[in-house]
Structure 1
Amino acid sequence: MDLSRPELFDFHGVFMTNYFTDNWDKVQNFKAKPDDIVVATYPKAGTTWVCYILDLLHFQQKCPEREKSVPIYGRVPFLELTYPPYPTGTDVADTLPTSPRIIKTHLPVQFLPKSFWEQNSRIVYVARNAKDNAVSYFHFDCMEKIQPEPGDWKSFLQRFKDGKMVFGSWYDHVCGWWEKKQTSSKIHYMFYEDLVEDTGRELKNLASFLGLSPSAEEMREIIRRVQFDVMKENPMTNQRDDPTLDFSVSQFLRKGKVGDWKNHFTVAQNENFDEDYKQKMKNTTLRFRVEI
């Protein structure tokens, strides 16, 4: 299996790699269903966490056996991923046995297949503050062998600010989806920091958006299962069997904290980042917390 690290290239104005563009026509022509639920995120913003929460909300009662036998990436396909010899994300989504289908994507809003809008599918967008997101992305790129070479932290941080990342600029991504949410009642926009602060509250809001009313006992069980340390020990969520990940470098589920950026940014890096951030975010109402 060839695990050579890919090159970044400009793809319709967004930096991408071939692992996410090789199946582009099928992705763009994907046939959505009205009850599909899309989990959309910029990479490393709590994607696996929210996918697992949604899967439990819908299926922990209906299909308890899947919990122990099918890893989360088999239950929630990654729409645009193309990684031979494995089936493509669109093929996995097309053959999902469950209804509703929960499908994850890192696509910026302008790349989401239009059938999701036409079918009025529900979309859960999760955003994480830029500093923690950058740190998490850095550690991930160090261990993920099908991501571009990360380089050192200093050069990585510069690339992050410049938007030269797989799936493009964090700023464009979170703001693009935020703008779309202002005109679409089908988008539930969540913040990673809120989820860390009060998982129960965010779960209730999510269930309400999905029209679900789980019992208090079900909610307690979901909250227990989605605690970071529990997921870290769960072979169905910690991706231990993913051949593209180098666990000698890092864990896939690493820290799950808010504020870890303080262990990585120098004072000067933090000041420069804040300056740059102010400029890039000056035209949006979107606000983030970098600590809780």
Structure 2
Amino acid sequence: MDDFKTLLMQEFVRFKPDVYMDDGHGSTLKLGLFNGRYVSPFGEENYRRVKDIPLRDDDIFLIGYPKTGCHWTWEVLSMIVRGRGEHSTTGKLACFMEMAPPAMRDSVQTRRILNSHVLFEDLPAQMKEKKTKIILTFRNPKDTLVSFYHHHTSLPDVWNYAGEFQNFFPLFIKGQVDNSSFFDYYKQWDEDIKKNPDQPVLVVSYEDMKEDLPREIRRLAAFIDVPLTDQQVEEIAQAAGFSSMKDVYQKGDNYSSIFLRKGQVGDWKNWLTIAQSEMVDAAVEQKLKGTRFASPRYTL
């Protein structure tokens, strides 16, 4: 585990950022640039290499805007693939396409859950030929915003951000954060899903997983063609419950523990003012109206 953590941190810090985004109150956020979008400062060449990643026939893509349940869903998928409620020792970072070294990704012997935060057009070119299945995560943008703020401040080696939430909020609304605008991201994904009806895509929401995890485990398993018994579903649901997963990660010194915080639905009410909440609602109305991501169930 120590060697794995060391290798990952070397990947995190070896690139120089393209942009230092100023929050207007003395704190800056390190960002990269890729195709005109703000991304993590992993180096443009790493993002461009994603297109050329060779795919296996049984690969799965797990995609989503950061902090929309990516780590949790990856762990659930990993258990589904193995058919048992057994936690990963490395987490999803070994198959994080825009950051993990190719040798690390290629060394995975089991069915790979290749994960990324890029857009549809930036995924590996072989995807359409192989009809690679895509699982797209989504979460209430207000909870995503709060979690994303803590994500930026908890990893100073990556983003070097130490600002206050009220100063981070305008950056998120304007899309001046890692992976740019949440709202533009999902608007683009909605358009690309419609334009590519032959590409198998399953949207999984954080709220649905919190509401009924066994149901969502069955949906995921059916989508990736893994038969599970009721006993297996229950075992996975017990092991993959957010609190159980976080507890196991922390006790086992799993590197992914730093990416898990509260795992709650509605925590945004403890952080956003009424005016800030209304600004998010306005962005949803402007950017996501008419898309599959505009349901009040997931945005209010």
The TM-score with structure 1 as length reference comes to: 0.84
Equivalent residue number for residue 171 of structure 2: 159
Taking a change above 3 Å as real, the CA distance of residues 20 and 9 of structure 1, as seen in their structure-2 partners, is closer
Equivalent residue number for residue 89 of structure 2: 70
Pairing 1:79-228 to 2, within 5 Å after superposition: 79-81=97-99, 88=101, 90-98=102-110, 100-145=111-156, 146-149=158-161, 151-182=163-194, 183-228=197-242
Say if 1:34 and 1:121, in contact at 8 Å, map to a contact too: yes
Q: CA deviation at 1:208?
A: 1.3
The CA deviation string for residues 134-193 of structure 1, in whole angstroms up to 9 with x for no partner, is 000001111012125252212211111111121221112222222333324511111111
Deviates more, 1:277-286 or 1:209-218: 277-286
Equivalent residue number for residue 71 of structure 2: 48
The CA deviation string for residues 63-93 of structure 1, in whole angstroms up to 9 with x for no partner, is x8xx46732236x5111015xxxxx1x3322
Partner Cα separation in structure 2 for residue 38 and residue 190 of structure 1: 13
3-state SS of the aligned residue for 1:254? coil
Tell me whether 1:254 sits opposite 2:266 in the alignment: no
Taking a change above 3 Å as real, the CA distance of residues 285 and 214 of structure 1, as seen in their structure-2 partners, is closer
Partner Cα separation in structure 1 for residue 144 and residue 236 of structure 2: 25
Q: CA deviation at 1:280?
A: 2.0
The runs of 5 or more residues in structure 1 that have no matched partner are: 83-87
Q: CA deviation at 1:22?
A: 3.6
- Structure ranking higher in helix proportion: 2
3-state SS of the aligned residue for 2:226? coil
Taking a change above 3 Å as real, the CA distance of residues 109 and 144 of structure 1, as seen in their structure-2 partners, is same
The CA deviation string for residues 33-63 of structure 1, in whole angstroms up to 9 with x for no partner, is 22100110110111111111111111145xx
* Count of matched residue pairs: 273
Taking a change above 3 Å as real, the CA distance of residues 155 and 144 of structure 1, as seen in their structure-2 partners, is same
Taking a change above 3 Å as real, the CA distance of residues 252 and 140 of structure 1, as seen in their structure-2 partners, is same
Taking a change above 3 Å as real, the CA distance of residues 227 and 20 of structure 1, as seen in their structure-2 partners, is farther
The runs of 5 or more residues in structure 2 that have no matched partner are: 1-9, 18-29
Partner Cα separation in structure 1 for residue 192 and residue 252 of structure 2: 32
Match of 2:278 among 271, 275, 278: 271
3-state SS of the aligned residue for 2:263? coil
Q: CA deviation at 1:269?
A: 1.4
What letter matches 2:260 in structure 1? L
Tell me whether 1:231 sits opposite 2:238 in the alignment: no
Say if 1:8 and 1:148, in contact at 8 Å, map to a contact too: no
Partner Cα separation in structure 1 for residue 252 and residue 183 of structure 2: 28
Taking a change above 3 Å as real, the CA distance of residues 211 and 107 of structure 1, as seen in their structure-2 partners, is same
3-state SS of the aligned residue for 1:8? strand
Partner Cα separation in structure 2 for residue 219 and residue 190 of structure 1: 17
CA-based RMSD of the aligned residues comes to 2.7
The TM-score with structure 2 as length reference comes to: 0.81
Say if 2:213 and 2:237, in contact at 8 Å, map to a contact too: yes
Taking a change above 3 Å as real, the CA distance of residues 238 and 47 of structure 1, as seen in their structure-2 partners, is farther
